[in-house]
Amino acid sequence: NLPWSKTNSSVLVIALLFRATHHLLRRLPLPEVVKKDEMRCWKWRNLSVSMVHSLLTGAWALTCVLVWPETLRNIHSYHTPLSYLLVCVSTGYFVQDAADIIFTGHARGSWEFLLHHALCGFVYSNMGFVTVLALFVEVNSVTLHMRLMLKLANAQSTSIYQFNKFANFFTYVTFRLSTQFYLTWYIIHNYSWLDHDLFLWCAGVKRPVPTCLVFWT
């Protein structure tokens, strides 16, 4: 379990850093069609911060496994200071994003993301270090966020959108589905002695909740 008494302050600081990132990204120009619609404007800015989180944590998770292969072979207990910090960073983002959704009045229309963030917090607090593997899915989230942002800009007919569709499918299979399959195999293979198999399973299946709702929209 994560020592939350020692990490609450770290998570709060990271949440504030993501909020600062949100304000910095507001300085970037918006597509005209997005600028004219308040809802599109909020979604664009929210997705921009999500993109930063996905780029950061996806690359971070892959690096942890490449540098320390034991992370993949012994996911139930092996961790490093960098993998521990990765959990804090991802948790801090979810805190910031949940606050943004709630305090801007979009909770009803974004309930699936609030549910996702709550499940993440539950899993991270009980079996946090499996998060390193679970965050492989953020590589796919990069193309998902790009797809949604291009749709907000009415850019479905562009070559970038068409290329991103194929990249989205490739990363979905390679980084999202393969992660689910590996976690499922790991649980079945080690079920007899795993103390927290339920939390491992949650870490594997929680991710498709919002994905299934946006992948085919």
Per residue of the chain (217 residues), give pLDDT as tens. Answer: 455 456 778 889 999 999 999 999 999 999 999 999 999 999 999 999 999 999 999 999 999 999 999 988 888 778 888 988 898 899 999 999 999 999 999 888 888 888 888 877 776 666 666 778 889 999 999 999 999 999 999 999 999 999 999 999 999 999 998 988 888 888 788 777 766 555 555 555 545 544 544 444 4
Distance (Å, whole) CA 49 – CA 55: 10
Tokens of 209: 């909740």
pLDDT of residue 165: 93
DSSP 29: -
50: containing domain: 4-214
Burial 21-45 (b: 16+ CB within 10 A, else e): bbeebeeeebbeebeeeeebbbbbb
Split into its structural domains, the chain has a count of 1
